[in-house]
Structure 1
Amino acid sequence: MPELPEVETMRRGVQGVVEHTIRRVRRTPCRLKPIQIQPRIDALDRRVAGRKITAVGRRGKRLLLHLDDASAIVIEPRMTGLILVADPPNEQHLRVRIELEGPRHEDLLFWDRRGLGTFRWLPAETLARLLDQSTLGVDALEVTAAQLQATLAASRRAVKVALLDQRAVAGIGNLYAAEILHVAGVDPRTRCDSLSGPQWQRIAAATRQVLGEAIRYEGSTLSDGTYRNALNSAGGYQNHHRVYDREGQPCRRCGHESIRRIVQAQRATFFCGHCQQRRGKHRSVP
């Protein structure tokens, strides 16, 4: 967390910085674990000061500030990072401030409670490698059944675990993988090489549906309250989760089966045993 819907919500929330010029980039005082900044903040500042932001993009779970020399600032929020144009939740975890000049005179802030995020400047050639699908998979909002099958159908991994592989499909994390498989009616423990063509089609369609819904609700703010949109307001999709973090509660589809929780690859998985039954030519992965 944040996953694709949260980063896309942040991207839309900071679109107003387009056509603004970067006056300077500075690391704010913070006594906590430092985030990864590349190159060093003084060198990064020299390379971007005076550059105009031409577009705000997204690649999977990364936000990209495209600059007028074809380079970009790439921000990866990871577990607890936020990209803001409003006052942050607190000053203690504020990491980087991008000071801007332009009609709206708003600065761009990177806040990160746990300090796991990254803040990088990439020249044009390095940026091209990041955008290439051989480095990160196809964006989850655009993925097709054929693309999923091409990258995952031969895998012996459980499908829930495989969907988290950013080289196969970019943007899906633990929360939305569980939601997608519930909508698709697929047991999260099923091996990828057991899935049929129609099942892959349902997974691809569910991916676009669930992520699109989550973006409309501006992402999911969980019980820890960490995720906020660019204006420091909570998302709303957590009120519409079908299975995630609903252990023991009735399934919203069938109504009579309690949501189960298991652990896969050291991550919690939630599913409905009635709506997501095991099927396939191979035994499901425990």
Structure 2
Amino acid sequence: MPELPEVETMRRGILSIIGGKVTDVAKPPCARRPILLAPGIAAFRRRTVDRRVTAIDRVGKRVVIVLEGGDRIVLEPRMTGLVLVADPPTREHLRWEMSLADCGVEKVWFWDRRGLGSVRLFSEREFVAEFSESGKIGPDALVISWQELRDRLAKSRRAVKVALLDQKGVCGVGNLYAAELLHVAKVHPATPCEALSTAAWKRIHAAMVDVLQEAIKYEGSTLGDGTYRNALNKDGGYQNCHRVYGREGELCRTCGKVEVIRIVQAQRATFYCERCQKVTL
């Protein structure tokens, strides 16, 4: 589930390790489905121990730990992964840990209940090839201009909600925030991209930035299953601000006139208000 606001919260939650020296990297015993860990732990340890952390970045829905010399540890939470500096929710789902000195933080953990996430180590050149030159990742949702957003998506015949989930077009937006931002923009989620006007693209872009920044301020959304937690193993707060997501059958919080509707698009649940989000451009 973690999308841009949750992953950005994870990134900010481990900023205190900058300047710290890696003293060990380990793969805790885990009887659950294994995550992707590359390279193997022995090679991982050789390339990271005694290196200092120089920066903490983010690429879309991934936290990036930059080490002196240019190597980068990329932590991808996928559905249920967490990046933590406090005690994890459980020990049985710990997948990776990094011990540090000289920064006030003893360990960074990667915890993943379902085992769909990954921890990968890249050289600087490998990182650029994978995340900049491959075309797999589009511009970040908080950086892209409205013109580029329009130019990258406007020719598509796909529904705008579905197109926003394609990380090649714009990265960081997932199912939850796509529904929320389209509600704020007053755009019906089934509208084909090619049918949207320039004014609609401007509204979508403005809503995307506003919703994501607001969600970051509240440290992301912890849904009913309680899986998402910040780096200190605490709930986010933005779930209390959701306008439509997960509110099927409730009165729309914007208009207060009609109930929120749930439909399925590309095998994902979409929530919207038919009064606020009419099929008009």
Q: TM-score range by the shorter chain?
A: over 0.9
Distance in 2 between the 1:98 and 1:194 partners? Answer: 49
CA shift at 1:129, angstroms? 2.5
1:154 aligns with 2:155: yes
CA contact (8 A) 1:9 1:219 kept: yes
Aligned identity (percent) is: 54
With 74-83 and 139-148 compared, the bigger mean Cα shift is at: 139-148
1:7 aligns with 2:7: yes
Distance in 1 between the 2:214 and 2:221 partners? Answer: 11
CA contact (8 A) 2:18 2:103 kept: no
Q: Secondary structure at the match of 2:16?
A: helix
Distance in 2 between the 1:213 and 1:105 partners? Answer: 28
Aligned to 1:87: 87
Letter matched to residue 51 of structure 2: R
1:169 aligns with 2:170: yes
CA contact (8 A) 1:261 1:269 kept: yes
Distance in 2 between the 1:212 and 1:103 partners? Answer: 28
Distance in 1 between the 2:227 and 2:5 partners? Answer: 15
After TM superposition, which residue ranges in structure 1, 4 or more long, deviate above 2 angstroms? none
Letter matched to residue 110 of structure 1: F
Q: Secondary structure at the match of 1:220?
A: coil
Matches within 5 A, 1:81-230: 81-132=81-132, 134-230=135-231
- Which segments of 5 or more consecutive residues in structure 1 lack a partner in the other structure? 281-286
Aligned to 1:283: none
Distance in 1 between the 2:259 and 2:113 partners? Answer: 34
**CA 1:247/1:24 → structure 2, altered by over 3 Å: closer, same or farther?**
same
Aligned to 1:31: 31
With 214-223 and 124-133 compared, the bigger mean Cα shift is at: 124-133
TM-score normalised by L of structure 2:
0.98
TM-score normalised by L of structure 1:
0.96
Letter matched to residue 86 of structure 1: A
Deviation track 1:138-184 (CA, whole Å, cap 9, x = no partner) reads: 11112221111111100000000000000110100000000000000
Letter matched to residue 244 of structure 1: Y
Q: Secondary structure at the match of 1:90?
A: coil
With 123-132 and 31-40 compared, the bigger mean Cα shift is at: 123-132
Q: CA RMSD in A?
A: 1.0
CA shift at 1:105, angstroms? 4.0
Letter matched to residue 112 of structure 2: D
CA shift at 1:102, angstroms? 1.2
CA contact (8 A) 1:63 1:75 kept: yes
CA shift at 1:50, angstroms? 1.1
Distance in 2 between the 1:167 and 1:103 partners? Answer: 36
Number of paired residues?
280
Q: Secondary structure at the match of 1:246?
A: coil
With 137-146 and 220-229 compared, the bigger mean Cα shift is at: 137-146
Q: Secondary structure at the match of 1:129?
A: helix
- Which segments of 5 or more consecutive residues in structure 2 lack a partner in the other structure? none
Aligned to 2:43: 43
CA shift at 1:131, angstroms? 4.1
